[in-house]
Structure 1
Amino acid sequence: MKNLPEEERPRERLLLKGPSALSTSELLAIVIGRGAPGISAVMLSQKIISAFGDLNSLCKVSATELLAFNGVGLAKACQILAVAEISRRLSGAPVLKSQIYSSSKSIYHLIKPHLINKDREHFLVIALDSRRRLIAVDNISIGTISQSIVHPREVFKVAINRRASFIVIAHNHPSGDTSPSSEDLAVTHRLVAVSQTIGIPILDHIIVSDSGYMSFKHEEYLT
Protein backbone atom coordinates (compact mmCIF):
# COMPACT_ATOMS: atom_id res chain seq x y z
CA MET A 1 0.00 0.00 0.00
CA LYS A 2 3.04 2.23 0.14
CA ASN A 3 2.66 2.76 -3.63
CA LEU A 4 -0.71 4.46 -3.07
CA PRO A 5 -0.90 8.19 -2.35
CA GLU A 6 -1.13 8.65 1.41
CA GLU A 7 -4.70 9.98 1.23
CA GLU A 8 -5.81 6.79 -0.60
CA ARG A 9 -4.31 4.31 1.84
CA PRO A 10 -7.02 2.52 3.83
CA ARG A 11 -5.57 3.23 7.27
CA GLU A 12 -5.09 6.91 6.53
CA ARG A 13 -8.56 7.16 4.98
CA LEU A 14 -10.06 5.55 8.07
CA LEU A 15 -8.35 8.07 10.35
CA LEU A 16 -9.37 10.96 8.13
CA LYS A 17 -12.94 10.04 7.20
CA GLY A 18 -13.94 7.29 9.62
CA PRO A 19 -14.47 3.53 9.06
CA SER A 20 -17.88 3.97 7.40
CA ALA A 21 -16.19 5.70 4.46
CA LEU A 22 -14.14 2.61 3.60
CA SER A 23 -15.17 -0.24 1.34
CA THR A 24 -15.29 -3.81 2.65
CA SER A 25 -12.06 -4.64 0.82
CA GLU A 26 -10.33 -1.63 2.36
CA LEU A 27 -11.42 -2.65 5.86
CA LEU A 28 -10.19 -6.18 5.22
CA ALA A 29 -6.90 -4.78 3.92
CA ILE A 30 -6.38 -3.06 7.28
CA VAL A 31 -6.97 -6.38 9.04
CA ILE A 32 -4.53 -8.12 6.70
CA GLY A 33 -1.94 -5.38 7.23
CA ARG A 34 0.57 -6.24 4.55
CA GLY A 35 0.37 -7.86 1.16
CA ALA A 36 2.97 -10.07 -0.45
CA PRO A 37 5.50 -9.66 -3.23
CA GLY A 38 3.58 -8.51 -6.30
CA ILE A 39 0.24 -7.98 -4.53
CA SER A 40 -0.84 -5.25 -2.14
CA ALA A 41 -3.04 -5.81 0.91
CA VAL A 42 -5.90 -4.05 -0.91
CA MET A 43 -5.57 -6.27 -3.99
CA LEU A 44 -5.33 -9.37 -1.78
CA SER A 45 -8.47 -8.41 0.15
CA GLN A 46 -10.31 -7.79 -3.13
CA LYS A 47 -9.34 -11.26 -4.35
CA ILE A 48 -10.51 -12.88 -1.12
CA ILE A 49 -13.89 -11.11 -1.11
CA SER A 50 -14.37 -11.79 -4.82
CA ALA A 51 -13.66 -15.48 -4.30
CA PHE A 52 -16.24 -15.91 -1.55
CA GLY A 53 -18.85 -13.49 -2.86
CA ASP A 54 -19.82 -11.53 0.23
CA LEU A 55 -19.17 -11.02 3.92
CA ASN A 56 -21.65 -13.70 5.00
CA SER A 57 -19.75 -16.27 2.97
CA LEU A 58 -16.44 -14.98 4.28
CA CYS A 59 -17.67 -15.69 7.82
CA LYS A 60 -18.00 -19.38 6.89
CA VAL A 61 -14.52 -19.97 5.45
CA SER A 62 -11.90 -22.14 7.07
CA ALA A 63 -8.25 -21.41 7.72
CA THR A 64 -7.37 -23.94 5.01
CA GLU A 65 -9.37 -22.00 2.41
CA LEU A 66 -7.71 -18.72 3.37
CA LEU A 67 -4.23 -20.25 3.31
CA ALA A 68 -4.80 -21.13 -0.35
CA PHE A 69 -4.36 -17.45 -1.23
CA ASN A 70 -0.86 -16.32 -2.06
CA GLY A 71 0.08 -13.82 0.62
CA VAL A 72 -2.09 -15.29 3.38
CA GLY A 73 -0.13 -17.10 6.03
CA LEU A 74 -1.30 -18.59 9.29
CA ALA A 75 -1.18 -15.27 11.15
CA LYS A 76 -3.27 -13.43 8.52
CA ALA A 77 -5.76 -16.31 8.31
CA CYS A 78 -6.22 -16.23 12.08
CA GLN A 79 -6.70 -12.45 12.03
CA ILE A 80 -9.42 -12.73 9.37
CA LEU A 81 -11.19 -15.58 11.17
CA ALA A 82 -11.06 -13.71 14.48
CA VAL A 83 -12.61 -10.57 12.97
CA ALA A 84 -15.28 -12.68 11.24
CA GLU A 85 -16.19 -14.30 14.56
CA ILE A 86 -16.35 -10.93 16.34
CA SER A 87 -18.64 -9.67 13.58
CA ARG A 88 -20.88 -12.71 13.94
CA ARG A 89 -21.15 -12.25 17.72
CA LEU A 90 -21.87 -8.54 17.39
CA SER A 91 -24.70 -9.23 14.95
CA GLY A 92 -26.95 -10.26 17.84
CA ALA A 93 -28.60 -7.97 20.34
CA PRO A 94 -27.15 -7.89 23.86
CA VAL A 95 -28.39 -10.81 25.94
CA LEU A 96 -30.49 -9.58 28.86
CA LYS A 97 -31.08 -12.31 31.43
CA SER A 98 -33.84 -10.20 32.97
CA GLN A 99 -35.74 -10.15 29.67
CA ILE A 100 -38.73 -12.44 29.33
CA TYR A 101 -38.44 -14.69 26.27
CA SER A 102 -42.07 -15.44 25.62
CA SER A 103 -42.18 -15.34 21.81
CA SER A 104 -40.48 -17.23 19.01
CA LYS A 105 -39.19 -13.93 17.62
CA SER A 106 -37.47 -12.98 20.88
CA ILE A 107 -35.85 -16.42 21.07
CA TYR A 108 -34.76 -16.13 17.43
CA HIS A 109 -32.97 -12.83 18.09
CA LEU A 110 -31.31 -14.40 21.13
CA ILE A 111 -29.94 -17.44 19.29
CA LYS A 112 -29.30 -15.92 15.86
CA PRO A 113 -25.62 -15.12 16.58
CA HIS A 114 -25.09 -18.76 17.64
CA LEU A 115 -26.55 -20.26 14.47
CA ILE A 116 -26.01 -18.06 11.39
CA ASN A 117 -23.03 -18.37 9.05
CA LYS A 118 -22.36 -21.97 10.08
CA ASP A 119 -21.43 -24.72 7.63
CA ARG A 120 -22.75 -27.50 9.88
CA GLU A 121 -25.88 -27.96 11.95
CA HIS A 122 -25.72 -26.87 15.59
CA PHE A 123 -28.35 -27.96 18.11
CA LEU A 124 -29.08 -25.65 21.05
CA VAL A 125 -30.98 -25.99 24.28
CA ILE A 126 -32.27 -22.69 25.67
CA ALA A 127 -33.04 -23.01 29.39
CA LEU A 128 -35.64 -20.65 30.87
CA ASP A 129 -36.82 -20.11 34.43
CA SER A 130 -40.43 -20.11 35.66
CA ARG A 131 -40.90 -16.55 34.40
CA ARG A 132 -39.36 -17.47 31.05
CA ARG A 133 -36.21 -15.50 31.71
CA LEU A 134 -32.96 -16.80 30.25
CA ILE A 135 -30.83 -19.14 32.31
CA ALA A 136 -28.42 -20.33 29.61
CA VAL A 137 -27.93 -21.30 25.98
CA ASP A 138 -26.09 -24.60 25.54
CA ASN A 139 -24.82 -26.13 22.29
CA ILE A 140 -25.16 -29.88 22.71
CA SER A 141 -24.47 -31.14 19.20
CA ILE A 142 -22.65 -30.18 16.00
CA GLY A 143 -23.40 -32.16 12.86
CA THR A 144 -26.44 -33.45 11.01
CA ILE A 145 -29.42 -33.61 13.35
CA SER A 146 -30.55 -37.19 13.92
CA GLN A 147 -32.17 -39.24 16.66
CA SER A 148 -28.85 -40.92 17.35
CA ILE A 149 -27.01 -37.61 17.86
CA VAL A 150 -29.72 -35.55 19.59
CA HIS A 151 -30.67 -37.92 22.39
CA PRO A 152 -33.24 -36.94 25.03
CA ARG A 153 -30.70 -37.85 27.71
CA GLU A 154 -28.35 -35.07 26.59
CA VAL A 155 -31.12 -32.50 26.13
CA PHE A 156 -32.73 -33.05 29.52
CA LYS A 157 -29.43 -33.46 31.33
CA VAL A 158 -28.77 -29.84 30.38
CA ALA A 159 -32.29 -28.80 31.36
CA ILE A 160 -32.07 -30.49 34.77
CA ASN A 161 -28.53 -29.24 35.50
CA ARG A 162 -29.63 -25.70 34.61
CA ARG A 163 -32.72 -26.12 36.82
CA ALA A 164 -34.90 -25.00 33.91
CA SER A 165 -38.65 -24.70 34.21
CA PHE A 166 -39.00 -24.59 30.43
CA ILE A 167 -36.73 -25.15 27.46
CA VAL A 168 -36.70 -24.16 23.82
CA ILE A 169 -34.72 -26.25 21.35
CA ALA A 170 -33.22 -24.84 18.18
CA HIS A 171 -30.93 -25.72 15.33
CA ASN A 172 -29.78 -24.24 12.04
CA HIS A 173 -30.09 -25.29 8.41
CA PRO A 174 -26.92 -24.24 6.54
CA SER A 175 -28.80 -24.89 3.27
CA GLY A 176 -30.94 -21.81 3.91
CA ASP A 177 -34.22 -23.74 3.80
CA THR A 178 -35.99 -23.59 7.17
CA SER A 179 -38.52 -26.31 6.30
CA PRO A 180 -38.27 -29.17 8.82
CA SER A 181 -36.95 -32.48 7.54
CA SER A 182 -38.54 -35.81 8.47
CA GLU A 183 -35.65 -36.29 10.91
CA ASP A 184 -36.32 -32.87 12.47
CA LEU A 185 -39.95 -33.84 13.02
CA ALA A 186 -39.06 -37.25 14.46
CA VAL A 187 -36.49 -35.81 16.87
CA THR A 188 -38.90 -33.10 18.00
CA HIS A 189 -41.79 -35.49 18.64
CA ARG A 190 -39.50 -37.79 20.63
CA LEU A 191 -38.20 -34.93 22.76
CA VAL A 192 -41.68 -33.54 23.37
CA ALA A 193 -42.87 -36.96 24.55
CA VAL A 194 -39.98 -37.20 27.01
CA SER A 195 -40.52 -33.62 28.18
CA GLN A 196 -44.09 -34.47 29.16
CA THR A 197 -42.85 -37.36 31.27
CA ILE A 198 -40.07 -35.38 32.94
CA GLY A 199 -42.19 -32.27 33.48
CA ILE A 200 -39.98 -29.72 31.73
CA PRO A 201 -42.08 -28.47 28.80
CA ILE A 202 -40.57 -27.70 25.40
CA LEU A 203 -42.07 -24.36 24.43
CA ASP A 204 -40.85 -24.35 20.83
CA HIS A 205 -38.37 -25.73 18.33
CA ILE A 206 -36.89 -23.06 16.09
CA ILE A 207 -35.03 -23.71 12.84
CA VAL A 208 -32.71 -20.87 11.83
CA SER A 209 -31.11 -20.05 8.49
CA ASP A 210 -29.09 -17.05 7.38
CA SER A 211 -32.28 -15.52 5.97
CA GLY A 212 -34.78 -16.15 8.77
CA TYR A 213 -36.41 -18.75 10.98
CA MET A 214 -39.29 -21.19 11.35
CA SER A 215 -41.19 -21.91 14.56
CA PHE A 216 -42.61 -25.38 15.21
CA LYS A 217 -45.10 -23.78 17.59
CA HIS A 218 -46.40 -21.31 15.00
CA GLU A 219 -46.60 -24.00 12.34
CA GLU A 220 -48.39 -26.31 14.80
CA TYR A 221 -45.77 -29.06 14.60
CA LEU A 222 -45.55 -29.30 18.41
CA THR A 223 -48.04 -31.99 19.33
Structure 2
Amino acid sequence: MLRQAACNKFRVKNVPSYERPRERLLSNGAFALADAELLAILLRTGTEQETAFQLAQRLLATFQDLRGLAQASHEELIGLRGIGPVKAAELQAAFELGRRLSGMTRSKPRSIRLPQDVAEIMLPEMSHLTQEHFVCLFLNTKNHIIGKQTIFVGSLDSSIVHPREVFKEAIKRSSAAVICLHNHPSGDPTPSREDIQVTQTLRQAGEIVGIPLLDHVIIGDGRFVSLKEQGYV
Protein backbone atom coordinates (compact mmCIF):
# COMPACT_ATOMS: atom_id res chain seq x y z
CA MET A 1 0.00 0.00 0.00
CA LEU A 2 2.79 2.43 0.88
CA ARG A 3 4.55 1.63 -2.39
CA GLN A 4 1.34 2.24 -4.34
CA ALA A 5 0.79 5.51 -2.54
CA ALA A 6 4.29 6.65 -3.40
CA CYS A 7 3.72 5.80 -7.06
CA ASN A 8 0.42 7.68 -7.08
CA LYS A 9 2.14 10.73 -5.66
CA PHE A 10 4.35 10.98 -8.74
CA ARG A 11 1.78 10.32 -11.45
CA VAL A 12 1.91 12.86 -14.28
CA LYS A 13 -1.33 14.56 -13.28
CA ASN A 14 0.14 15.27 -9.83
CA VAL A 15 3.39 16.69 -11.17
CA PRO A 16 3.67 20.48 -11.62
CA SER A 17 3.71 21.67 -15.24
CA TYR A 18 7.35 22.78 -15.02
CA GLU A 19 8.26 19.18 -14.17
CA ARG A 20 6.54 17.82 -17.27
CA PRO A 21 9.25 18.53 -19.85
CA ARG A 22 7.84 16.30 -22.59
CA GLU A 23 4.66 18.39 -22.70
CA ARG A 24 6.70 21.60 -22.66
CA LEU A 25 8.84 20.35 -25.53
CA LEU A 26 5.78 19.57 -27.63
CA SER A 27 4.22 22.96 -26.98
CA ASN A 28 7.30 25.22 -26.94
CA GLY A 29 10.04 23.33 -28.80
CA ALA A 30 13.22 21.67 -27.53
CA PHE A 31 15.19 24.94 -27.57
CA ALA A 32 12.95 26.34 -24.82
CA LEU A 33 13.84 23.63 -22.32
CA ALA A 34 16.55 23.80 -19.67
CA ASP A 35 19.26 21.14 -19.38
CA ALA A 36 17.44 19.35 -16.57
CA GLU A 37 14.21 19.21 -18.58
CA LEU A 38 15.91 17.72 -21.65
CA LEU A 39 17.72 15.24 -19.44
CA ALA A 40 14.44 14.26 -17.76
CA ILE A 41 12.99 13.32 -21.16
CA LEU A 42 15.92 10.96 -21.72
CA LEU A 43 15.53 9.47 -18.24
CA ARG A 44 11.76 9.00 -18.74
CA THR A 45 11.14 7.89 -15.14
CA GLY A 46 12.41 8.84 -11.74
CA THR A 47 12.28 6.92 -8.47
CA GLU A 48 9.62 6.44 -5.80
CA GLN A 49 11.01 9.50 -4.04
CA GLU A 50 11.55 11.86 -6.99
CA THR A 51 10.31 12.65 -10.46
CA ALA A 52 12.45 12.28 -13.59
CA PHE A 53 12.96 16.05 -13.49
CA GLN A 54 14.20 15.92 -9.90
CA LEU A 55 16.47 12.99 -10.76
CA ALA A 56 17.87 15.02 -13.65
CA GLN A 57 18.53 17.96 -11.34
CA ARG A 58 20.34 15.67 -8.91
CA LEU A 59 22.51 14.22 -11.69
CA LEU A 60 23.54 17.69 -12.86
CA ALA A 61 24.31 18.75 -9.29
CA THR A 62 26.35 15.59 -8.67
CA PHE A 63 28.55 16.13 -11.71
CA GLN A 64 28.43 19.96 -11.40
CA ASP A 65 26.99 20.55 -14.88
CA LEU A 66 26.05 18.93 -18.20
CA ARG A 67 29.68 18.76 -19.30
CA GLY A 68 30.65 16.84 -16.18
CA LEU A 69 27.74 14.44 -16.64
CA ALA A 70 28.73 13.81 -20.25
CA GLN A 71 32.20 12.76 -19.09
CA ALA A 72 30.92 10.37 -16.40
CA SER A 73 31.83 6.72 -16.80
CA HIS A 74 29.29 3.91 -16.88
CA GLU A 75 30.40 2.82 -13.40
CA GLU A 76 29.95 6.33 -12.00
CA LEU A 77 26.45 6.57 -13.44
CA ILE A 78 25.15 3.22 -12.21
CA GLY A 79 26.53 4.02 -8.77
CA LEU A 80 23.83 6.67 -8.38
CA ARG A 81 20.39 5.98 -6.99
CA GLY A 82 17.84 5.85 -9.80
CA ILE A 83 20.33 5.05 -12.57
CA GLY A 84 20.59 1.44 -13.68
CA PRO A 85 22.70 -0.07 -16.47
CA VAL A 86 20.07 0.66 -19.15
CA LYS A 87 19.61 4.33 -18.26
CA ALA A 88 23.37 4.77 -17.97
CA ALA A 89 23.88 3.29 -21.43
CA GLU A 90 21.14 5.46 -22.92
CA LEU A 91 22.66 8.61 -21.43
CA GLN A 92 26.13 7.73 -22.72
CA ALA A 93 24.73 7.00 -26.18
CA ALA A 94 22.91 10.36 -26.27
CA PHE A 95 26.02 12.30 -25.24
CA GLU A 96 28.15 10.45 -27.80
CA LEU A 97 25.68 11.27 -30.58
CA GLY A 98 25.85 14.93 -29.54
CA ARG A 99 29.65 14.88 -29.67
CA ARG A 100 29.66 13.26 -33.10
CA LEU A 101 27.12 15.71 -34.46
CA SER A 102 29.03 18.72 -33.15
CA GLY A 103 32.21 17.43 -34.77
CA MET A 104 30.71 16.83 -38.19
CA THR A 105 31.84 19.06 -41.02
CA ARG A 106 29.31 20.68 -43.33
CA SER A 107 28.17 18.81 -46.42
CA LYS A 108 29.98 21.38 -48.54
CA PRO A 109 33.74 20.91 -48.05
CA ARG A 110 35.21 23.68 -45.97
CA SER A 111 38.54 25.18 -46.91
CA ILE A 112 41.03 25.35 -44.06
CA ARG A 113 42.87 28.65 -44.27
CA LEU A 114 43.48 29.69 -40.68
CA PRO A 115 44.02 27.95 -37.31
CA GLN A 116 40.64 29.35 -36.31
CA ASP A 117 39.03 27.21 -39.04
CA VAL A 118 40.58 24.08 -37.54
CA ALA A 119 39.54 25.07 -34.02
CA GLU A 120 35.91 25.69 -35.00
CA ILE A 121 35.69 22.18 -36.41
CA MET A 122 37.64 20.27 -33.76
CA LEU A 123 37.07 22.13 -30.48
CA PRO A 124 33.61 20.60 -29.87
CA GLU A 125 35.00 17.12 -30.42
CA MET A 126 38.28 17.37 -28.54
CA SER A 127 37.94 19.90 -25.74
CA HIS A 128 35.97 17.49 -23.51
CA LEU A 129 38.39 14.55 -23.74
CA THR A 130 39.93 13.36 -20.46
CA GLN A 131 42.92 11.71 -22.17
CA GLU A 132 45.28 13.15 -24.74
CA HIS A 133 44.29 12.26 -28.30
CA PHE A 134 46.61 12.90 -31.24
CA VAL A 135 44.54 13.47 -34.38
CA CYS A 136 45.49 14.18 -37.98
CA LEU A 137 43.42 15.99 -40.60
CA PHE A 138 44.31 15.15 -44.18
CA LEU A 139 43.76 17.83 -46.82
CA ASN A 140 43.56 17.92 -50.61
CA THR A 141 45.11 20.55 -52.87
CA LYS A 142 42.22 22.94 -52.08
CA ASN A 143 42.79 22.54 -48.34
CA HIS A 144 39.53 20.63 -47.95
CA ILE A 145 39.47 17.91 -45.29
CA ILE A 146 39.41 14.52 -47.01
CA GLY A 147 40.08 12.38 -43.95
CA LYS A 148 40.60 12.30 -40.20
CA GLN A 149 42.47 9.77 -38.10
CA THR A 150 43.23 9.40 -34.39
CA ILE A 151 46.85 8.25 -34.43
CA PHE A 152 47.14 7.42 -30.74
CA VAL A 153 45.71 8.06 -27.28
CA GLY A 154 48.01 8.87 -24.36
CA SER A 155 50.67 11.34 -23.25
CA LEU A 156 52.42 13.08 -26.14
CA ASP A 157 55.99 11.94 -26.67
CA SER A 158 58.24 11.99 -29.72
CA SER A 159 58.94 8.29 -29.33
CA ILE A 160 55.20 7.52 -29.58
CA VAL A 161 54.14 9.98 -32.29
CA HIS A 162 56.26 8.54 -35.05
CA PRO A 163 56.18 10.33 -38.43
CA ARG A 164 55.77 6.94 -40.08
CA GLU A 165 52.25 6.56 -38.65
CA VAL A 166 51.21 10.08 -39.60
CA PHE A 167 52.49 10.08 -43.16
CA LYS A 168 51.50 6.48 -43.86
CA GLU A 169 47.90 7.60 -43.45
CA ALA A 170 48.54 10.75 -45.46
CA ILE A 171 49.99 8.78 -48.38
CA LYS A 172 47.14 6.26 -48.21
CA ARG A 173 44.66 9.13 -48.70
CA SER A 174 46.75 10.89 -51.39
CA SER A 175 46.87 13.94 -49.14
CA ALA A 176 48.40 17.21 -50.26
CA ALA A 177 48.98 18.38 -46.67
CA VAL A 178 48.45 17.43 -43.03
CA ILE A 179 47.27 19.27 -39.93
CA CYS A 180 47.93 17.63 -36.57
CA LEU A 181 46.05 18.28 -33.36
CA HIS A 182 46.10 17.06 -29.81
CA ASN A 183 44.29 18.09 -26.66
CA HIS A 184 45.46 19.02 -23.19
CA PRO A 185 42.98 17.54 -20.66
CA SER A 186 44.12 20.18 -18.14
CA GLY A 187 42.37 22.76 -20.31
CA ASP A 188 45.53 24.83 -20.79
CA PRO A 189 46.67 24.67 -24.45
CA THR A 190 50.14 26.11 -23.76
CA PRO A 191 52.64 23.97 -25.73
CA SER A 192 55.14 21.87 -23.79
CA ARG A 193 58.72 21.08 -24.78
CA GLU A 194 57.52 17.69 -26.04
CA ASP A 195 54.81 19.37 -28.15
CA ILE A 196 57.41 21.55 -29.83
CA GLN A 197 59.79 18.65 -30.37
CA VAL A 198 57.08 16.50 -31.98
CA THR A 199 56.04 19.39 -34.21
CA GLN A 200 59.56 19.98 -35.48
CA THR A 201 60.05 16.26 -36.16
CA LEU A 202 56.80 16.06 -38.13
CA ARG A 203 57.60 19.24 -40.06
CA GLN A 204 60.95 17.83 -41.15
CA ALA A 205 59.40 14.49 -42.12
CA GLY A 206 56.72 16.26 -44.15
CA GLU A 207 59.36 18.16 -46.09
CA ILE A 208 61.10 14.87 -46.95
CA VAL A 209 58.00 13.04 -48.21
CA GLY A 210 56.52 16.10 -49.93
CA ILE A 211 53.40 16.33 -47.75
CA PRO A 212 53.81 19.49 -45.67
CA LEU A 213 52.66 19.83 -42.08
CA LEU A 214 50.49 22.95 -42.24
CA ASP A 215 49.96 23.29 -38.50
CA HIS A 216 49.90 21.56 -35.14
CA VAL A 217 46.99 22.83 -33.08
CA ILE A 218 46.69 22.21 -29.34
CA ILE A 219 43.14 22.12 -28.00
CA GLY A 220 42.29 23.23 -24.48
CA ASP A 221 39.07 24.03 -22.68
CA GLY A 222 37.43 26.37 -25.19
CA ARG A 223 40.87 27.64 -26.25
CA PHE A 224 43.56 26.61 -28.68
CA VAL A 225 47.15 27.36 -29.63
CA SER A 226 48.54 27.14 -33.16
CA LEU A 227 52.20 26.12 -33.27
CA LYS A 228 52.34 27.62 -36.75
CA GLU A 229 51.43 30.99 -35.26
CA GLN A 230 54.06 30.34 -32.59
CA GLY A 231 56.67 29.93 -35.33
CA TYR A 232 57.34 26.19 -34.96
CA VAL A 233 55.86 25.11 -38.32
Question: TM-score, normalization: structure 2?
Answer: 0.88
- Show the 5 A alignment for 1:95-134: 95-96=106-107, 98-134=109-145
1:207 alignment partner in structure 2: 218
1:158 alignment partner in structure 2: 169
Contact 2:19–2:53 at 8 Å: present in 1 too? no
How far 1:99 moved relative to its partner?
2.5
Moved more, 10-19 or 177-186: 10-19
- Show the 5 A alignment for 1:160-179: 160-179=171-190
Residues 140-195 of structure 1, C-alpha deviations (whole Å, 9 max, x = no match): 11111112321111111111111111101001111110101111111111111211
How far apart, CA to CA, are the structure 1 residues paired with 2:34 and 2:18? Answer: 15
Instruction: Give 1 or 2 for the bigger CA radius of gyration.
Output: 2
Contact 2:123–2:222 at 8 Å: present in 1 too? no
Please tell me whether residue 46 in structure 1 is matched to residue 57 in structure 2. yes
2:28 alignment partner in structure 1: 17
**Which segments of 5 or more consecutive residues in structure 1 lack a partner in the other structure?**
none
How far apart, CA to CA, are the structure 2 residues paired with 1:56 and 1:210? Answer: 11
Contact 2:19–2:37 at 8 Å: present in 1 too? no
How far apart, CA to CA, are the structure 2 residues paired with 1:203 and 1:140? Answer: 17
**SS of equivalent residue, structure 1 residue 94:** coil
Letter in 1 for 2:216: H
**SS of equivalent residue, structure 2 residue 47:** coil
Contact 2:102–2:125 at 8 Å: present in 1 too? no
2:38 alignment partner in structure 1: 27
2:3 alignment partner in structure 1: none
Among 61, 75, 81, the residue aligned to 2:72: 61
How far 1:69 moved relative to its partner?
0.7
**SS of equivalent residue, structure 1 residue 146:** coil
Contact 1:97–1:134 at 8 Å: present in 2 too? no
How far apart, CA to CA, are the structure 2 residues paired with 1:46 and 1:164? Answer: 47
> How many residue pairs were aligned?
222
**Which segments of 5 or more consecutive residues in structure 2 lack a partner in the other structure?**
1-9
Identical-pair percentage: 39
How far 1:97 moved relative to its partner?
5.6
